[in-house]
Structure 1
Amino acid sequence: MPPPPGQVGAGSPSTSQRLASIRVCIGSATLRYSRGRVEMASRSRPTEFQRAVAAQRRAAEAAKRQQARDTEQERKEQVKQYEQRRTAEAARLTADAERRMAALNGVLAAALAHPPAGIDFAALRKHPPAMPIDLGQDARPLTAPAWADFEPARPGTLGRLLGGDARHARERAEAERRFAAAVDGYQAAEAARQRRVTEARRMHAQRLAAARAEVDAHNASMDRFAAGVRDRDRHAVSRYFQMVIDQVQDPAGFPSHRLAGYVPESTLLALEWRLPAVQIVPDQRAFRWVKTRDEIVGTARTAAEIRRAYQNLVAQIALRAVHTVFTTGRLSLVNTVVFNGIVEVIDPATGQTVTPCLITLRANREQFTELVLANVDPVACVRKYFAADVSPHPEELQPVQPVMEFKMADPRIIDPVDVISQIDKRPNLLELTAKEFEHFIHNLFTRMGFDTKVFSASGDGGVDCVAYDPTPIRGGKYVIQAKLYTKTVPPTAVRDLFGTMQHEGAKSGILITTSGYGPSSYEFANGKPLQLIDGSGLLAICKDHGIPARIVPIVK
């Protein structure tokens, strides 16, 4: 138990001791507090390492933020480039469509700017080939062996004293043997070389002669060709203009099939020209990129626009063809051109290949020279000036009736002047009387499927035969006149036929002759329901219907 207040028990610390102890405790606490403050202060101040780590962390965070900004900028740049590419792609498609349309619209202008040069007969000739002979190593004679290369050296004085003469004699004999063998080998080799040279020269002469003979034959053929063109030979002139029209250059995608047929009786050239299909016209006028859909969208041409563009194209092709013929024709070989433009396509209704005629016209030289082609509207020109028939709906393959079938002028089908007439048993139409010729035409149209009637010689009103086409809707009455002529039919006969046709109320008038027509007759017939069939056309029809016939001038 503690001592009472005021008393100090034995062994108890005194007040001074307790005060001293309290002071010591307070001092220790103060010291610990000071050390803690020091340690806390020490811990609150960063070291160099900590500062470096912090700096690296801040740098990494800054780099990360910069990388994010760069990535975003790169993404934006990629988006921008993509948008530019798509926009440029749309612009390229638009430019392609515009260039394509410009090429289609400039077919005639290009031909006027660079007219065809025609055919130069001199340029068709060949020159003898330069064929130098190459003998190779055999061209040089062989080198003959020389005795000096074999002869042994003579021994000196000392050598002779030591028996050199005998050794030299033996060496000389061996050298002479080797020399003689070398001479024999040389002579045999040289003889063989000379035989090879002789054979090589013979073979070369044969090749040279064959090449020159080929050149001579070609040149003779070209001379006959040129003479045939000057003489208005059907095959030669057809070939000449075939070569001319084959030179005409078209834009890409056009067919190249074309045919030319010459009718000397009428100085007429018929052309059958393969046209591109209507799909050649770009169906899109322009293109743009729609960003929201990421899609290139075209601005389509209407069906009417495509039809007009296509009609303009075929009209240009027709005018260009006629221009080519009249500007390259020699000696006024051609006074009338018939152009039939056909297209070869698959009929979507039947799946079969069809070749409808989409434009047909007939033009004469005098008409054509009055044109200023650089200023014309092609469609208006062919329709109004040449009375051409142009398909109103080419996209539907709606055909027109050719003013003259190409087969009536095709030299591969018909040759009215038969050079072997003495052994040809086909009847010569020029040997018929006028009345017999009328009956021949009557039989021909009957064979063709018409109901025909021959008029009597008196009071026929200019009608030799009337033919009725029994086909519903497109059938009708045709009045026919037959002219057994050896000279050109005058234009008055064509005018008379037109008047007779109108008087008879016929659908069409047909004039058939064994000769031909002049440009004035064709010009009058343009745009009228008249068909002019010359001698070549008549024979083509006969052959087409299995009727043997020929037209051979009678020599009196």
Structure 2
Amino acid sequence: MSRRASSGLIGVWAEAQRQQQRSQVIRQREAERRQRAYEREAARGQREQQAAYKQHREAEARRLTEALDAQLAALQGLLAAGCRAPAFRMAALVRSEQLEPFNPGALAQPLPMPHLQQFQHQSSGWTLGSGRRAQAEREAHDRYTQAWQAAHAAEQQRQRQLAAYRQQYDEWAAAQLVGIRAHNNGLGELAAALRAGDSEAAVEYFSAALYASAAWPENLPRQVSAAYDPAARQLVLDWELPRFEVVPQTKAVRYVPSTDQDKETARPVTQRRALYRDLLAQCVLLVLRELYAADEFGALDSVVVNGFVDDHDPVTGREAQIVLATVRAEREAFAGLRLEQVSAVDCLLDGLGGQLSARPDQLAAVRPGRRPGEVGGVVSHGGHAGGGEEEPDLFTMDPIAFENLVAELFRAMGMEAVTTQRSGDGGVDVEALDPAPIRGGRIVVQVKRYRNTVPPTAVRDLYGTVQDRGANKGVLVTTASFGPGSYTFANGKPLELVPGAELVALLHQHGLRGRLGDGGRPAGAAERGAATPTPAPAAAPAPYNVLGMSWSGSVALDVCALVCEGGRVLSEDHFVFFNNLQTPDGSVRSAAHTAPDKAAVEVDFDALPERADRLVLVAAIDPEVNPDADLTGFAEARIRLLDSAGHELDQLEVSDGRPGETALVLGSFRRRPDGDWKFVIGGKGYRGGLEDLLGDFGIEVA
């Protein structure tokens, strides 16, 4: 009995062991199945990722090929596209009399006046006796009176500022209208001169028509030199042609998966040469089309075009203008052409009897036709044609040409830039894109061809345009200058102001041409915050005194001077600071300092304007160097009075700075009845920086 029982227990145990083994096998097989499924999924994901990467690279290669095809199509269709562009007309030069409206901003809003109920409400809920209540009412009334007086004074100040701002705007608007009407009247005189066959008028008009034409892509040159023969009613010009590199060397781009690289297919040299030759013929024909289309006055009977490239002469190795195409086109012969459908090369050679280089890629020249220099009265636009010819005067340059020149400057600085349409531009003359990864972005540019100081209204309007357009920066370019109000308003904002002197310096720096009237070529523009600012060109007559400023502490300061009558500066141009290095008469100017001074100003006291009775010296924290600093670190300050030879005549003590203040009046030299000047120590501080200080001297910044 017991043996059978024992045998049964062994059987149960053996069965349990078999079940356990079977379960382990099943689990192992399940794990292996999951592993195989995971590996299959991973392999599929890798294949899909590789396929996606391959598709991306192939798509990028196709995009590059399409871009090359589009570039080539634009070159092949240059003449047809140019014929569809609107013809240049004199009306394009007419300036609108609609000016920027008066916009005082916050100054237009009256300041709210306090009400007695506001102060009584603060004292409500009294539970004491009538005596205490009467006292509290008197205190509330006193607070109300003080608040009302302060608000009334502030409102009067606002009204005075608004009136002064309105007067400034009205003066600016009147000057603008005078200039606009003079310009528009001058266009009528220009049209009459063109009808009469005046050489100078013809050269200026037709050169401007070519330079401002909308038919030319931005990547093609627009250098032109022209002269007009009134007896033959013939315009003779040299026109710069694009170089051989404009035709893309690469024909297509293909992605090769085995090497994970893009492979470029080269365009056959014979094809590039044929495309380039055809492009040159198109350029010459398009020049003829633009000139005859712009001739609404019947000034042209014939046109001679010499197309050239600036390069090294393969014979002499010297830089030269190599003529690759030339043609003389009579009006009657040209009028019978349908340029949209012609073969450019055949039309130029057979239809008009012109010449075209057989190997322009190798700079094989042709004999030019009549040259502008053989006629006389040559005028050049764009580029550097003419070598030693006089640079164009930015003040008298055609406004469209001036905007194009500014756009060309931005392109020369490595940006993408285009001029906007003449209408509906929203106050933007040039749109630029800076490709720099951090400091770059979209830039809106306004161009002001002024002779007088640009008013702060223009800077404020530009800031509004930057905000409306969502741009990264706004740039205001002018042939004139900016006042301290403009610079102070622009400080800390995404605005950049380019005055005329700096504009000319930038043009020359980037190989472009331009001058300001008879002022010639400036030495360059001083940079803000330079440790030793370069004095402005000759002005202050000797003998002059040097005022050297020094102080302890490492705080960076801008030291400025104001020429005043009473407590008001004579004009914004009589405020000498980092962006205005001298007064108009040169009697006060910034100077290079020498140790131990940290800043210096040169003054010819005898040459100061007669109505000026004081010269005020001020200092302010440089917000770009020490944006969070105050004048606590401005201590042990003094002014050294030196003669023109650098000998110390006296030392003048000035007040130290105080915590929380960011600007300080150091002191003033005041004219005495006998004509001598006496120094009076200052000490008034300002918490609102230079902007706050300038308001006390009559310079509007807001």
TM-score bin (small chain): 0.5 to 0.7
Residue 74 of structure 1: which of 45, 51, 70 is its match? 45
Q: CA deviation at 1:243?
A: 2.2
Comparing 349-358 with 203-212, which one deviates more in the overlay?
A: 349-358
**2:171 corresponding residue in structure 1:** 206
Residue 242 of structure 1: which of 195, 207, 225 is its match? 207
Whether the 8 Å contact between 2:326 and 2:355 is mirrored in structure 1 is yes
Confirm or deny that 1:60 pairs with 2:31. yes
Larger CA Rg, structure 1 vs 2: 1
CA distance in 1, matches of 2:49, 2:303: 61
**1:91 corresponding residue in structure 2:** 62
**2:269 corresponding residue in structure 1:** 303
Residue 217 of structure 1: which of 167, 176, 182 is its match? 182
CA distance in 1, matches of 2:149, 2:52: 87
Unaligned runs of 5+ in 1: 1-26, 147-179, 415-556
Read off the aligned partner of 1:64 and give its amino acid letter. Q
Q: CA deviation at 1:60?
A: 1.6
CA distance in 1, matches of 2:181, 2:96: 8
Residue 354 of structure 2: which of 381, 388, 393 is its match? 388
Deviation digits for residues 212-269 of structure 1 (CA, Å, limit 9, x no counterpart): 3222332333333233223222121212112221214334532232344322221111
CA distance in 1, matches of 2:221, 2:19: 86
CA distance in 1, matches of 2:149, 2:11: 124
**1:374 corresponding residue in structure 2:** 340
**2:94 corresponding residue in structure 1:** 124
- Higher relative contact order at CA 8 Å, sep ≥6: structure 1 or structure 2? 1
Residues 44 and 296 of structure 1, relative CA distance in 2, 3 Å threshold: same
**2:82 corresponding residue in structure 1:** 111
Report sequence identity in percent. Answer: 29
**Normalized against structure 1, the TM-score is what?**
0.54
User: Superposition pairs for residues 338-417 of structure 1, below 5 Å?
Assistant: 338-345=304-311, 353-409=319-375, 411-412=377-378
Whether the 8 Å contact between 2:225 and 2:378 is mirrored in structure 1 is no
CA distance in 1, matches of 2:54, 2:156: 84
Residues 94 and 410 of structure 1, relative CA distance in 2, 3 Å threshold: farther
Comparing 77-86 with 359-368, which one deviates more in the overlay?
A: 77-86
Deviation digits for residues 186-228 of structure 1 (CA, Å, limit 9, x no counterpart): 9999998887777566545433332332223323333332332
Q: Secondary structure at the match of 1:68?
A: helix
CA distance in 1, matches of 2:147, 2:38: 92
User: Superposition pairs for residues 122-201 of structure 1, below 5 Å?
Assistant: 124-127=94-97, 129=99, 131-132=101-102, 134=104
Q: CA deviation at 1:319?
A: 1.0
Q: CA deviation at 1:392?
A: 1.1
Unaligned runs of 5+ in 2: 117-144, 381-702
CA distance in 2, matches of 1:42, 1:276: 98
Q: Secondary structure at the match of 2:231?
A: helix
Q: Secondary structure at the match of 1:344?
A: strand
CA distance in 2, matches of 1:191, 1:372: 71
Whether the 8 Å contact between 1:261 and 1:411 is mirrored in structure 2 is yes
Read off the aligned partner of 1:325 and give its amino acid letter. L
C-alpha RMSD over aligned residues: 4.8
Whether the 8 Å contact between 1:128 and 1:211 is mirrored in structure 2 is no
Residues 330 and 54 of structure 1, relative CA distance in 2, 3 Å threshold: same
**Normalized against structure 2, the TM-score is what?**
0.44
Read off the aligned partner of 1:127 and give its amino acid letter. E
Residues 411 and 126 of structure 1, relative CA distance in 2, 3 Å threshold: farther
Q: Secondary structure at the match of 1:361?
A: strand
Residue 240 of structure 2: which of 274, 294, 317 is its match? 274
Q: Secondary structure at the match of 1:363?
A: strand
Q: CA deviation at 1:277?
A: 1.0
Residues 53 and 252 of structure 1, relative CA distance in 2, 3 Å threshold: farther
Residues 123 and 382 of structure 1, relative CA distance in 2, 3 Å threshold: closer
Residues 76 and 217 of structure 1, relative CA distance in 2, 3 Å threshold: same
Residues 238 and 137 of structure 1, relative CA distance in 2, 3 Å threshold: closer
Read off the aligned partner of 2:99 and give its amino acid letter. P
Read off the aligned partner of 1:364 and give its amino acid letter. E
Confirm or deny that 1:226 pairs with 2:196. no
Confirm or deny that 1:100 pairs with 2:71. yes
- Report the number of matched residues: 365
Q: CA deviation at 1:367?
A: 0.7
Q: Secondary structure at the match of 2:284?
A: helix
